[in-house]
Amino acid sequence: MGMDSEKNSLCRLQCSYASLDEVFEIGKETYRGQQYSQIYFARLHLMRTLLYSLVSQWKPQTPVCTVLGLEQGKECVIVGTLYKHMKLKPCILDEYSKERSAVPLVRPHNFMHDDDYLVLEDESGRVKLGGDLISPSVFVTGIVVALHGKETGAGDFSVLEVLEAGLPPQIEFPLKSREDKYIVLVSGLNVGSSDSNPLQLQLFIDHITGHLGDEKEQSIASQIVHVVIAGNSIGIPRGLVNGQNLASKDLSRIAEPIKELDILLNQIAAGLPLDIMPGPNDPANFSLPQQPLHRCLFPGSAAYNTFRSCTNPHSFEIDNIRFLGTSGQNVDDLEKYSDAKDKLEFMERTLRWRHIAPTAPNTLGCYPYTDSDPFFIESCPHVYFVGNQNKYESRVIKGSEGQFVRLISVPKFSESGVAVVVNLRDLECHALSFGTQFSS
């Protein structure tokens, strides 16, 4: 018996792993009533230094001005933070307005309007932007850019060209190995919700741990070296969490999905390294960066050294290949306040703006940092993923200095039954789909 089980046991490939989450850990930061203006100053200072170095090559003959130093009709370059004035942007004060009945409190999917316009501001002042070369539909509040143009008679700045920071420098992609190694990305398990299908989830776990299929299937499963769960793992019924004291039967209804998730994660962690990130619906802090889910929630899984509770955003390296991912809040918020052909375009923009969450803290909750902005992207990832999206999408983008990034939109597993598999050898990826419908 012992010999047989030894013969059939899965010989799994190994890989090196390094967490880069330190920048997202709030740790010893203490809130002393500081305002959000300081994170914008930190962002402007960081990005301006970077943009000035690019401006000298972009427009070497054109003077660089502050907003206050603009002169009518004189061409120059200004660097500052964009602010997007939006007519339909929800305002908390509207809820207390006496005239609120005059303006219906609609909650559209997108708050854009034809009358939206952009303003650029630095420490000296702000100026309204004009011209056809800068489209309000593409940009959002919080991005730092350099603009080439001139002040008009009306006091606006007519934009002739826009310079974004572009993709950050990237560490060299390791020499291609001869063997395939796979990373599995999954999100939106929503254990305990009405959407969740326990059989589908069990099939997924059995497949990646090598308990399903023939020898060929198992040999593929043995090449999976890491699993990342990108948020929204727990589906706690909305009505229960309303700030009221809970009856004991309701307490057990909240605890049940967490216990169930621990049992599932236990099965993965027993055979595979596993990273779990918090998402908007998980029992974690609301504002970004979300801190790791507490280990006491997972008494079974946390006993394994393969189990890691991580931050959101989450950055790590596997075999010297850099990954960066979020549970979806940054891209979902961009979709409300700007326009793009798909979610991958929003993702690409965040890389070209060198900022994971440009709308934080304006419309996306984030911690009020004082002297740094942890969402600034210093080093370009090789793989950039965003969880809890409506469908699986992926493409590769390339930078001017040879950067190569695989963008991945990871769908909600509870709705789609789809996980994503990335091959570390060449960053090719494919969807892994699980269905439990029986055809009649």
At 34 the pLDDT is 83
pLDDT of 436 strictly over 90: no
Residue 6 pLDDT class (50, 70, 90 cuts): very low
Instruction: Please indicate whether residue 213 or residue 227 has the higher confidence score (pLDDT).
Output: 227
Report the chain's mean pLDDT, rounded to a whole number: 88
Over residues 97-124, mean pLDDT: 72
* Non-local CB neighbours of 94 within 8 Å, separated by 6+ positions: 100, 103, 105
pLDDT tens digits, one per residue of 340-388: 999 999 999 999 999 999 999 999 999 999 888 999 999 999 999 999 9
At 434 the pLDDT is 87
pLDDT of 440 strictly over 60: no
Q: Phi/psi of residue 279, each to 5°?
A: -130, 180
Residue 5 pLDDT class (50, 70, 90 cuts): very low
> pTM for this structure?
0.91
Over residues 212-228, mean pLDDT: 88
Tokens of 372: 């740094």
Cα(333)–Cα(123) distance, rounded to whole angstroms?
Answer: 26
Residue 103 · residue 87 · CB < 8 Å: no
At 259 the pLDDT is 93
At 55 the pLDDT is 94
Q: Which strand (E) or helix (H) includes residue 397?
A: strand 393-398
At 241 the pLDDT is 63
Residue 183 · residue 394 · CB < 8 Å: no
Cα(237)–Cα(197) distance, rounded to whole angstroms?
Answer: 16
pLDDT of 7 strictly over 50: no
Residue 185 · residue 430 · CB < 8 Å: no
Residue 28 pLDDT class (50, 70, 90 cuts): confident
pLDDT tens digits, one per residue of 196-212: 888 999 999 999 998 88
Cα→Cα distances 333→83, 119, 255, 346, Å: 15, 20, 30, 10
Q: Are strands 429-433 and 117-122 parallel, antiparallel or unpaired?
A: unpaired
pLDDT tens digits, one per residue of 154-193: 889 999 999 999 999 999 988 777 789 999 999 999 998 8
Instruction: Give the range among 42-51, 103-112, 310-319 with minimum mean pLDDT.
Output: 103-112
At 32 the pLDDT is 80
Over residues 49-56, mean pLDDT: 93
At 4 the pLDDT is 39
Over residues 412-421, mean pLDDT: 95
At 278 the pLDDT is 97
Over residues 253-277, mean pLDDT: 92
Query: To 5 degrees, how large is the angle CA 306–CA 187–CA 379?
Result: 75
Instruction: Please indicate whether residue 55 or residue 88 has the higher confidence score (pLDDT).
Output: 55
Q: Phi/psi of residue 77, each to 5°?
A: -115, 130
pLDDT tens digits, one per residue of 226-255: 999 999 999 877 666 666 666 777 677 778
Cα(188)–Cα(275) distance, rounded to whole angstroms?
Answer: 14
At 13 the pLDDT is 80
The share of the chain scoring above pLDDT 90, in percent, equals 66
Over residues 120-133, mean pLDDT: 91
Residue 97 pLDDT class (50, 70, 90 cuts): low
Strands (E), 86-200: 117-122, 125-130, 144-151, 157-163, 182-186
